[in-house]
Amino acid sequence: MLTTTKKQQQGFSLWGTLILLALIAFFVTILLRLYPVYYEYFSVSSIMDRIEGEQFATKSEIVKRLTATMQIDNVRRVKLDDFDIKKTKTGFTVVLNYEDRVVMMGNIDAIAKFNKQVETSSR
């Protein structure tokens, strides 16, 4: 018959607790470093969704609208150079294609790639 003592069944040891805390700290660090990148992408995505329903006569109108809205929403990581605006038969195609690099710790970086495309109509 197998006998166990109370000492063997006490739960987490000090080392187990330290490892758990280290893992929690690691994942919280990742979350805090990547959150601003994704928050800004969702802001720009929302801007693009808003211009999708609008009508524009020229490419410069789209650029002005993007510039003004990005400034109001305090978008800093995405630049106008990351947008590609092309004239189509029915309007314009606005494509956002960029990547963002975030230093995680030491010489380890995380790279997030984003791509979104919307169609607008012309007047």
Does the pLDDT of residue 8 top 80, yes or no?
no
Segment 95-111 mean pLDDT: 94
Segment 39-57 mean pLDDT: 94
What is the pLDDT at residue 22?
Answer: 96
What is the pLDDT at residue 1?
Answer: 60
Does the pLDDT of residue 10 top 90, yes or no?
no
Q: What is the pLDDT of residues 51-99, one digit of tens each?
A: 998 999 999 999 999 999 999 999 999 999 999 999 999 999 999 999 9
CA-based angle 116:43:110, to the nearest 5?
Answer: 70
C-alpha distances in Å from residue 60, one per residue of 21, 85, 121 = 52, 10, 14
Q: Could you give the CA distance from residue 87 to residue 93 in angstroms, rounded to a whole number?
A: 6
pTM of the predicted model as reported, rounded to 2 decimal places: 0.80
Does the pLDDT of residue 7 top 70, yes or no?
no
SS (H, E, C) the chain: CCCCCHHHHCCCCHHHHHHHHHHHHHHHHHHHHHHHHHHHHHHHHHHHHHHHCCEECCHHHHHHHHHHHHHHCCCCCCCHHHEEEEECCCEEEEEEEEEEEEEEECCEEEEEEEEEEEEEEEC
